[in-house]
Amino acid sequence: MSYQKKALRTEPSYEAPQSRLNNPSTTRLVHAAMGLQTEAGELTDALKRHIFYGKELDRTNLKEEAGDLCWYLAILAEELGTTLEELQELNIKKLQARFPNKFTEEDATTRDLETERQVLEELPERFF
Ligand SMILES: [Mg+2]
């Protein structure tokens, strides 16, 4: 049996995923996720060209790509019913739980995921 036939034996049915995709909210989330991937790829490509091809690092282009990432994050935040500011605050709270004093390799590798989850589920104070 060829690799292709062996691999495709494990392919799922697309009926249920298709019905879940047929939803405006999910479509918006997928658009944001795809956009974040492609913009992260553009950022990574610019760094690859600098590091491995010797191309001058174009920081203006890196800022452009960072802005593009923000654009897709804004869509994601809106669809999740939150704001970029709230996501930033949640991220800081999670990092404070993970690294109570400062970054350490031990804290990075022995994470308390239950505590981090509790922090993420607490509603932060709104900025507006
Ligand atoms: Mg871009």
Tens-digit pLDDT profile for residues 29-38: 999 999 999 9
Contact present, 72 and 39 (Cβ < 8 Å): yes
Provide the pLDDT for residue 128: 42
Ligand 1 centroid to residue 63 C-alpha, Å: 9
Q: How far is the CA of 20 from the centre of ligand 1 (A)?
A: 28
For residue 79, how far is its CA from the centre of ligand 1 (angstroms)?
Answer: 21
Q: State in Å: Cα 97 to ligand 1 middle.
A: 33
Tell me 124's DSSP state.
Answer: P
pLDDT value at residue 113 = 87
pLDDT digits (tens, 9 = 90+) for 73-103: 999 999 999 999 999 999 999 999 999 999 9
The DSSP output letter for 27 is H
Q: How far is the CA of 110 from the centre of ligand 1 (A)?
A: 35
- Name residue, tokens 């509790």: 118
Between the CA of 40 and the centroid of ligand 1 the distance, in Å, is 8
Rounded Cα distance between 87 and 35, Å, is: 18
Answer for the pair 36, 76: CB distance below 8 angstroms, yes or no: yes
- 61 C-alpha vs ligand 1 centroid, how far in Å? 8
Ligand 1 mean position, distance from CA 90 (Å): 26
Count of CB atoms within 10 A of residue 30's CB?
12
**From ligand 1's centre to the CA of 69, what distance in Å?**
8
Distance CA(107)–CA(117), nearest Å, equals 16
CA 11 – CA 92 distance, rounded (Å): 39
| Opening angle at CA 84, ends 36 and 105, nearest 5 | 75
Residue 73 is predicted with a pLDDT of 98
Say yes or no to pLDDT of 23 above 50: yes
- Tokens representing 108 are 């990075």
pLDDT grade for 123, boundaries at 50, 70 and 90 = low
